[in-house]
Structure 1
């Protein structure tokens, strides 16, 4: 992937057999820090804490999901609920068994679902 400063959205998905499960729910900022180190190692991306925008935390079945943006300095919560205004490419980080981690670019179905979830969180009608 290489070092890019273009805005990206990161989906962290922590499975029930991951060593990071309780940390993901109780201390999401710590799993975000861990994820930033992983992005540096695996994707050659090096966002600083100032480049991170925490978006959401939810449990979907046995998994904990955390979403945050990197390099999204033009983020505007007033229009974040409007389709197409804040959609970003999505990188997934799956914490599976123990300390195993899988990083990849999300396919369109996952990216669309993550972007819609972020839009829904900002929708003033909800």
Structure 2
């Protein structure tokens, strides 16, 4: 349903986590999920969409659907297809946050950066 009258009013969002290596992306994604769950937010980590043969645009579509329905969908994915995913979210009016874990001291630094971005867009 694309009719805005039927959309969830909960503040969902897609958080796209990029940067090498995959272990850092996953650590940041799960640290963020733990922190958001502790705040009683609905959260889902889509961690099966990274690697050979995966489709980042498909992950973006799934994340957008979840976000439109009040879930914070966290996608620790490589940077390919980011522009298409971002454009799709903008077109549908769905909140979208990108964070790169490269150059951060720890996953907690990435989590703090994302929480600041999410708080600024609520």
TM class, shorter-chain normalised?
A: 0.3 to 0.5
Larger strand share, 1 or 2:
1
TM-score by length of 2: 0.36
So what's the TM-score if we normalise by structure 1? 0.35
